[in-house]
Amino acid sequence: MTNLRILSIFPSLLNVNGDAANALVLAQRARWAGHPARIDELEPGGQLSVVPDLVVIGSTADASLPEVANGLAGIRTELADWIEGGTPVLAVGSGMDLLGEDFAIPTETVSALRIVPGGVPDAPLGRVADDLVVNSSFGRLVGFENHYRGFSLGEGALPLGRVEYGVGNDRSTEGFVYRNAYGTHLHGPVLAKNPAFADHLLGLVIPGYDSRSVPAGRADDMAKAARNSIAARLSLVSE
Amino acid sequence: MRVAARLRKRGGGSAVPGLVVNRLAPGFLSSALDGFADGLVIVTGSSGKSTTTKMLVAILEAHGKRVFTNPSTANIAQGLTSALLERASLGGVVDADIAVLEMDEGHGARIAPLLNPRTVLLTNVMTDQIDRFHDSEMVAGMLETIAARASDFLVVNADDAMLVSLAGGLDGSAVQARYGVDASVLAASPRGLGYAKESVTRLAPADGTVVTAVEGRLATVTLAGEPWPITLPARGTHYAVDAAAALTAAQAVLGSSFDPAVATTTLSAVAPVFGRGEVVTVRGKSVEFVLVQNPASFQLNIDSLQAGLDQVLFAMGSDVRDPSYFWPVDASSLGRVTVASGSKATELALQLTYQGVVVDAVVPDLGRALDDFLSLPEPRVGVKTIIFTADSMRRTRTHLELT
Ligand SMILES: [Zn+2]
């Protein structure tokens, strides 16, 4: 097939926790399976030259949110079309918040994109900075959450999974699924530690995608060991 | 003795007696630190503290000063108190002219009200672990708390926009002295200097100490507009910046008795601090130790390693609560890592693998990894290189019985 196009949204701003690395994880896994892939980086004010196959949106600290929201407003039409049209999107942390309703941060109200039904509720959760373990349709997802706000799902959106350890959206559900758009508080390279999630996204856009390859096998053994070492520390059963 | 041994490690020196004294005589620390005839100098910031402190101490000693300084990681009040006690007479007087203390920004801000430094030197603000300090603004706030205590001089890195801004907001009596790099040195660092925010303009040689050239371990700095050659403890522009910081502080502290020839010669003979480019002989093998303190120092240190190293041990320990924040670092230039180790070995190996680095083995048990790594035959390229985070550095030193 032709190049798989992965679009990384504002990586210079939305990579505080290494979330932009999810684009790299998708590209590498595609390549390992024999599919050429490239990452297109879009910065605020930049031109969207091609229609992407997959989109990755990371997170940032509150201080940068107005700038990010402003930049996203310029590509709202395209993002909404892609999401409604079924393009897989991964949105992490505040990147997830920005796909829903407008929300307040201490200094102002952030204009979000209102594409995904739901959004940040008025009452904040308080600071959460700890491990997050979620039971999802891709199996157990393990990672780290660091956020202050929760997320409440609107009609038409489903949770990504149920919280096994941690807080997530509201101490019970975590993330959202809306068409092929996925939101999660699991920050950083969530797709590296949870390759089943990555393979699900790749399977949506690569016909006949088979994740099995030697390098993926090595990486997935490391990921499983990493998930299990966190699970063991939290006194959860190992996979 | 296991519990006591642990406590000792955490304080860096002997924390237990310090803890006791702080409880029995809470005023001891501040009165002892106020007792130096030439005052107190505090060196703080995200990185570069240890090397800068070591250089500054050497320069002051070469000018005839007797210096009290804190041993490597004894940054906390207890460790400091213990170190002071070891040097103090029965009357509580420490036999030295001046104190130069390296302080972690968090601990420093907490004990700042107890301190009356004449000089505060600020190195930089780098993005630290998100879950530890939350963000760079918070680090800058802590540094501001410490900087506000300076009565005579505030020595500031002119290339760090957050430091320049916080220094500009202080209304104290301290005179500001600045150091930085020129445009050519900055241009030679394609990823920048690693600061959370970089200043837009460069410092003019007339306005401070400026690094004008770095070539391997050789560098040139201008002092009062005049160029001086220096030799760095290890390769890397960040060491040249540390040298400029130490020279600027020495100049401020010594005033008219500062001799640039003595200062630059002394500085050029300073050996690297453990884990900052130091090459040590261990079990008959030459080993370079490289400490990774935050994403910026991770990137800078990897970029300044010799290309094509074929024996690298990389250990990431429990001090890294969430390894996610290291993923913006591009480690691909490592090419190959012999062994990933430490309690976060698998997560480290995952990052390296996705970035195209071949990881030959993942051995979370650091002691075993070190033993196996050191027993390998000599590398084909360079020396055996051990990269570690702070927790793995402590464990490595203990395991290899390095002081
Ligand atoms: Zn051993």
Q: Give me the pLDDT at residue B134, please.
A: 53
Assign domain B276-399 to a CATH class.
alpha beta
| β partners of residue A176 | A183
Q: How far is CA A101 from CA A13, A72, A145, B120, B168, in A?
A: 21, 14, 21, 46, 39
d(CA B360, CA B345): 12
d(CA B209, CA B155): 11
Q: Give me the pLDDT at residue B197, please.
A: 87
Nearest to A193 among B135, B350, B364 (CB): B350
Fold of B2-268: UDP-N-acetylmuramoyl-L-alanine:D-glutamate ligase (3.40.1190)
Q: Classify B235 as helix, strand or coil.
A: coil
Q: How far is CA B401 from CA A165, B368, B384, in A?
A: 39, 15, 18
For the beta carbon of residue A109, count every other beta carbon within 10 angstroms. Answer: 11
Q: What average pLDDT does the segment B115-141 reach?
A: 77
Query: Chain A: residue nearest B351 by CA?
Result: A192
Q: Give me the pLDDT at residue B7, please.
A: 33
Q: Do A192 and B350 touch (CB under 8 A)?
A: yes
Supply the mean pLDDT for chain B. Answer: 87
CA distance B151 to chain A (A): 32
Please, which pLDDT band fits residue B132 given cuts at 50, 70 and 90?
very low
What 8-state DSSP symbol labels residue B333?
A: G
Please, which pLDDT band fits residue B20 given cuts at 50, 70 and 90?
low
- Matching residue, tokens 């039904």: A117
Q: What average pLDDT does the segment B27-46 reach?
A: 87
What's phi and psi for B26, nearest 5 deg?
A: -60, -20
B89: region left, alpha or beta (phi > 0 left; psi from -120 to 50 alpha): beta
Q: What average pLDDT does the segment A200-224 reach?
A: 94
CA distance A84 to chain B (A): 30
Residues of A in contact with B327 (CB under 8 A): 17-18, 21, 188-189
Sheet with B285-291, side-by-side order of all strands? B276-282, B285-291, B384-388, B312-315, B336-341, B358-363
CB pairs < 8 Å spanning A and B: 75
Residue A120: is its pLDDT beyond 50? yes
| 8 A C-beta contact, residue B88 and residue B32 | yes
Tell how far the Cα of B376 is from the centroid of ligand 1, in angstroms.
14
Please, which pLDDT band fits residue B278 given cuts at 50, 70 and 90?
confident
For the beta carbon of residue B356, count every other beta carbon within 10 angstroms. Answer: 15
Domain ranges (residues) in chain B: 2-268, 276-399
d(CA A123, CA A104): 10
Q: Of residues B311 and B87, which shows the higher confidence score?
A: B311
State the best of A12, A16, A186, A222 to mutate against chain B, taking most chain B CBs within 10 Å: A222
Q: How far is CA B356 from CA A28, A54, B25, B92, B323, in A?
A: 9, 21, 56, 57, 18
Nearest to B117 by CA among B163, B192, B173: B173
Q: Do A222 and B346 touch (CB under 8 A)?
A: yes
Please, which pLDDT band fits residue B22 given cuts at 50, 70 and 90?
low
d(CA B181, CA B222): 10
Q: Give me the pLDDT at residue B273, please.
A: 81
Residue B184: is its pLDDT beyond 60? yes
d(CA B173, CA B62): 29
d(CA A170, CA A166): 10
Q: Give me the pLDDT at residue B136, please.
A: 76
CA distance A37 to chain B (A): 14
Burial track B131-156 (b if 16+ CB lie within 10 A, e otherwise): bbbebbebbbebbbbbbbbbebbbbb
Q: How far is CA B62 from CA B55, B113, B133, B138, in A?
A: 11, 31, 37, 37
Residues of B in contact with A129 (CB under 8 A): 130-131
Tell how far the Cα of B161 is from the centroid of ligand 1, in angstroms.
45
Supply the mean pLDDT for chain A. Answer: 95
| 8 A C-beta contact, residue A51 and residue A81 | no
d(CA B181, CA B240): 9
Please, which pLDDT band fits residue A61 given cuts at 50, 70 and 90?
confident
Please provide the DSSP assignment of chain A as one string.
---EEEEEESTTTS-TTSTTHHHHHHHHHHHHTT--EEEEEE-TT----S--SEEEE----GGGHHHHHHHHHTTHHHHHHHHHTT--EEEETHHHHTTSS-EEETTEEE-----SSEE--SS----EEEEEEEEETTEEEEEEEEES---EE-TT-B-SEEEEES-TTTSSEE-EEETTEEEES-BSSHHHH-HHHHHHHHHHHSTT-----HHHHHHHHHHHHHHHHHHHHTTPPP-
Q: What average pLDDT does the segment B243-270 reach?
A: 97
The amino acid occupying position B222 is T
Assign domain A4-233 to a CATH class.
alpha beta
d(CA A68, CA A19): 15
Q: Do A189 and B324 touch (CB under 8 A)?
A: yes
Please, which pLDDT band fits residue B14 given cuts at 50, 70 and 90?
very low
Residue B148: is its pLDDT beyond 80? yes
Q: Give me the pLDDT at residue B327, please.
A: 94
Please, which pLDDT band fits residue B274 given cuts at 50, 70 and 90?
confident
pLDDT, one tens digit per residue, over B304-363 is 888 899 999 999 998 888 999 899 999 999 999 999 999 999 999 999 999 999 999 999
| 8 A C-beta contact, residue B203 and residue B197 | no
Nearest to B158 by CA among B220, B200, B189, B104: B200
Percent pLDDT > 70 in chain A is: 100
Interface of B with A (CB under 8 A): 127, 130-131, 135, 137, 321-328, 343, 346-347, 349-351, 353-356, 362, 364
Tell how far the Cα of B367 is from the centroid of ligand 1, in angstroms.
5
**What ipTM score was computed for the predicted complex, to two decimals?**
0.96
Sheet with A128-136, side-by-side order of all strands? A139-147, A128-136, A161-165, A173-174
Q: Classify B368 as helix, strand or coil.
A: helix
Residue B53: is its pLDDT beyond 80? yes
Q: What stretch of H or E contains B210?
A: strand B208-215
Q: Do A192 and B322 touch (CB under 8 A)?
A: no
Q: What average pLDDT does the segment B254-273 reach?
A: 94
Domain ranges (residues) in chain A: 4-233
Nearest to A226 among B131, B347, B356 (CB): B347
Residues of A in contact with B351 (CB under 8 A): 21, 189, 192
